[in-house]
Every structure is written in structure tokens, then in C-alpha cells.
Amino acid sequence: MIRKMDAYTLSEIRTEMARANAALTEFFAGIPAETFFEHPPRVWSTAENLAHLCKTVRAATLAYRVPARLSGLIWGSAETSRSYDELVASYKAVLDAGAESPAAYVPELDNAPQDAEAAKQELLQRWQQAAGKLEAALANWQDEDLDKAKVPHPVLGKLTLRELLFFTLYHNLHHINDVRQLRGEARVDG
């Protein structure tokens, strides 16, 4: 299962991301198709949570497709990154203040597919592709480049590229916890 992240270097983050992405895939794959698309009032279904993660990870990947030498010119320069814990505290504060997912990241799914198992497998494949593309994009970066530019985030403002990775890891855990709560299971620390 995804756990609290203590990684800081790019190498450590990449290792944690690969492990966390595999754990996320296993978690969602283990949920029966017959409940995967259940949509309680005012709460995203399991499938919608996963579709949302596909969208957000694809968006994050775009930041790492820009060459490091150009990232500061495009988004603005930075000098230092907050820690994982500091970034998570900032995110929790904006959520507590009422922040919600921007419309571009709200999932749009058929919550009553004819073949729930096939639809679930297709969504899991979309997730694996999105996660794999982010992991591949990181191969072109050096650790010191993660603190040189700030990219826009729709809820948190400008984040360094290292902070965006921290956000992505925590955000994935946040949505696992949403699904766990939906299913009446205990939350996982993060």
C-alpha cells in the first residue's frame, strides 16, 4: 500500500513513485467490478476517483516533458522546494478551506457500463499508461533541476517541479483514502 513518503532526491522519488503506482494499481484492481462504478450521492465512485487520477497525472507529466533548461523560462524560476510534509500540510489547508477539483479534472464516466469488468480494465490500463508516461518523463531530469522552476497548480498556486512530484504522490494516496472511506475501510496514513 502507499505509505507516507520520506523520499527527497529524484532517485528516491522515482523509486517511491514506481512502488506507489504499482500499489495503487493493485488496490484499484482488487475492487470488484460490480462495486467499482457505484455512485453514492455527492461522492465520486471508485472509478471516478481513478479517472480523476489519470487526468491529474497526465497533466503533471506535461511539466516534465519540457526540457529542464527551458522550464524556468516558461514558468518562472525558483530556488528551493518545500518538504513532502510541508507540501501535504499546504494541500490539506486548502482542502479544509473548501478547495475543490477544477472542472477540467472532474471525471466524466458512464457509471453504469454494460460490461463493468471490461470498463474497469480499460480504466486500469489508462491509469497504468498515465503513470508510466510520468515515470518515463522523469528519466530526462536531474535532481538539481527540480528546484529551478515553478509550475502553476490549479489549487496550490506555483509549485517547484519537486513539489509537484510530492503533490502527485500524496494526491494519489488522498484518493485511495477517499475510496477506502467509500468502502467503509480504514484510511492509510500519508
Point out which residues pair with 152 in neighbouring strands: 158
Task: Report the distance separating Cα 21 and Cα 172, nearest Å.
Answer: 9
pLDDT in tens, the chain (190 residues): 444 556 789 999 999 999 999 999 999 999 999 999 998 888 999 999 999 999 999 999 999 999 988 888 888 889 899 999 999 999 999 999 999 999 999 999 888 899 999 999 999 999 999 999 999 999 989 999 999 999 999 999 999 999 999 999 999 999 999 999 999 999 987 6
- The answer to whether 158 and 75 are in contact (CB under 8 A) is yes
Which pTM value belongs to this model?
0.94
Q: Whats the size of the chain, residue-wise?
A: 190
Q: What is the DSSP letter of 149?
A: B
Alpha helices in the chain (DSSP H): 10-29, 33-36, 46-65, 68-75, 84-96, 116-138, 161-182
150-153 vs 157-160, strand pairing mode: antiparallel
Please give the domain boundaries of the chain with CATH numbers for all domains. 10-182 (1.20.120.450)
Task: Report the distance separating Cα 98 and Cα 3, nearest Å.
Answer: 25
Task: Report the distance separating Cα 112 and Cα 5, nearest Å.
Answer: 36
